[in-house]
Structure 1
Amino acid sequence: MESRKLLPFTPHPVIFNLCLLLPCTYFTLSHSAKLGNDTDKLALLAFKDQITHDPFATLSNWNNSVHFCRWNGVICGGRHERVVVLDLQSRNLTGTISPHIGNLTFVRNVNLRNNYFHGKIPKEMGCLYWLQVIGLTLNLLQGEIPINLTQCSEVRILNLVANSLEGRIPLELGKLEKLMGLGLAINKLTGPIPKSLANLTFLRDFSLSENRLRGDIPKELGQMRQLHMFQISSNGLLTGLIPAQIFNLSLVEYSLVSENQLVGEIPPDIGFTLPNVRMLLLGKNQFYGSIPSSISNASKLERLSIPFGQLTDSIPQDLGKLKNLVELNLRRNKLGFGEGNDLGFLSPLVNCTKLEVLAFFNNILSGVLPNHITDFSSNLIYLLMEANRISGSIPNDIQKLENLISIGM
């Protein structure tokens, strides 16, 4: 394509605004070859025009001295020289996302994570039919999630984590049937979790934590059989039981539901139904009953955290089978019987050689503190057992736990 000197940017009224003025138009390759190169170049220049601060001079070569396919952060397809990747992550860019981004007709990946983009997500991104990855996490974006994004039927990853997005989660997101990762955490989203998300049967990562969602967890989410991450913690207004179907998602590695108003008992067979779980965070809810002994069968478990609940009875004595355990946090419950010896669970924990956090303070555990706590993992950082009914003496060899930062007795 012959290069030409450009005047200060003015969008071409016919070529450039095809997406903005008309319904999204799906071009054939032959048609796009005639219009596409100019369209992509002008779209990128319009994008640059909305950048108000570029501290690393990332966009300094976005000019006529270099073909746009060699501009920083731009990758083109080899055959037709159309932009297929726009990757400007972690460049400290400040500005808004130009709606003309919707003219990058063949782009597959838009990665703008970890910048300072503000304003709304352009609804024109719904024109990007080939788009597979939308990466806008760690920005300052506001407004609602555009329903138009659900026209991007090829999307596999939709990551909007850590912005200031508001409004409800669009029901229409359930149309993105190829979606494998949905990240909406750390925003200001409200309303219920849509049942329609159950249509995302290929979803692996599901992250809605740190929003303002309310209502029950839809049992229909149990249809997401490929799920590896189920993260809905720190919403505060999610209520009711965790549906049994959720506990039967056997591929789940990370189950984070803490800091809500969920109730009920922890299923007695959880160690069998979640055999791959590595992180199980259930705290700051209203779970009651006992800690299931089957949890020791979840051999990959690294973090078990159920603080601030209504748990009762004894702590299972076979948790020492969890050789990968790094954190055991059971503080502020009603565990123990207040008489006799409730500390039998401590001895097997000597086998957990990766243990860093052991916290069970503010319960009603009773008994004599065993000397073999000095044989705990040398990695132990926190040993917190205050506000129980523990007697005896502090072992002389407690100094063997040389990496302790805090010990609470």
Structure 2
Amino acid sequence: MAILDKFKPQQAAYTAMKTTGRDPFSVCFDEVVTPSEAVLKGRRIILLGTNNYLGLTFDRECIQDAVAAVRQAGTGTTGSRIANGTYGDHAQLERRLAAFYGCRSAMVFSTGYQANLGILSTVAGRGDTILIDADSHASIYDGCRLGGAEVIRFRHNDPDDLHRRLRRLGDAPGNRLIVVEGIYSMLGDTAPLTEIAAVKREWGASLLVDEAHSLGVLGETGRGLTEEAGVMDDVDFIVGTFSKSLGAVGGFCVSNLPDFDVLRVVCRPYMFTASLPSAVIASVTRALAHVHERPELRERLSRNAHRLYRGLAAEGFVLGPRVSPIVSIRLPSSEVAIAFWNALLDAGIYLNLALPPATPDNAPLLRSSVSAAHSDDQIDAALEAMVGIGRSLGVIAAPARRARDDQRAGVRLGEATWGQPGHGPARVAVTGS
């Protein structure tokens, strides 16, 4: 047996998917023109799947600061912080991150994936237990595996199940670390963080919140779900990324634990990975300032997300449980999802195709990530394309038929809101309403 033969089932499925249209995992743009537009095979398309939540990838000040930094410090550091020393701008960004979160300490990593890998594999080892939400990101799963701690999954967004699993551990030795996310990347739902924090306090556990998709999105000052839920004092570690709202690449962890800085000499993914180039640090520093100083970016993002979510929900699409920048359509089969994705690209709309087993409940998804940079016209163009294709594929009914069905079933639109959990799917059956 050849070393790669074990991947033959995946290769066969991948090949079959490509025969039905384009390769959704190898789209190569001719040019990215703005945060919301690109050129693909000579044609302009709307970008609706880039996680560029605040649209800062083309921000003039971020670009200027990056250009100045590359001229002053060169194109890279060619080594880790441990080997080649910390540049002044690395330390400055860490101070600013700590101040932004009101925390004592911060560590900057070279990717968001590496931040989870490093922190989880270091702070919890053999004899400890990590309790993770079942819908956690791959970087969380991989960080848990690397460290050797026992890993227990609890049901997605279920504090009661978390409580039961902690109770079963009883007085067994070792530390307990709970891991949840601010916004979950597939459906855009949020952790019930107030309840999770209460369970954490009751059992004397530690709590890590991955704010990768919620930094710059949630909270009065953009610090994420931890701020929105008012539980900053209950969270021991906040992990995040620079590759979404901050428009660059990299990751971080902030904490108020007094001995946090010892991680710099015990965290192997931090110690043995080349540090970020000064140009990236400079653009991220400026982007972080924009998060603090420009709340209108979050307001525009919220309006755009509501526009897309409510428009799709009104047409009968089955969506995630709350409005967030991640707006995902649940589809009945992978075949329909692949056909839908190809038709959208033909219509000039690029978004993400998410297929089982990498999705909650193994449901195929078309995943949009809305940006503050999107115009109303772009959101409306995407809506028009989605509705037309959805009807042609039988995913949603034509207006006349839907109206009859809704009247017969007593269906109304659910009021999922920005900043509050939704109540079930986007379309909810209500008797007698």
TM-score normalised by the shorter chain: which range applies?
under 0.3
> Where is the helix percentage greater, Structure 1 or Structure 2?
2
Q: Which has the larger radius of gyration?
A: 1
Higher strand share: 1
Q: What TM-score do you get using the length of structure 2 for normalisation?
A: 0.22
Task: Give the structure, 1 or 2, with the largest relative contact order (CA under 8 Å, sep 6 or more).
Answer: 2
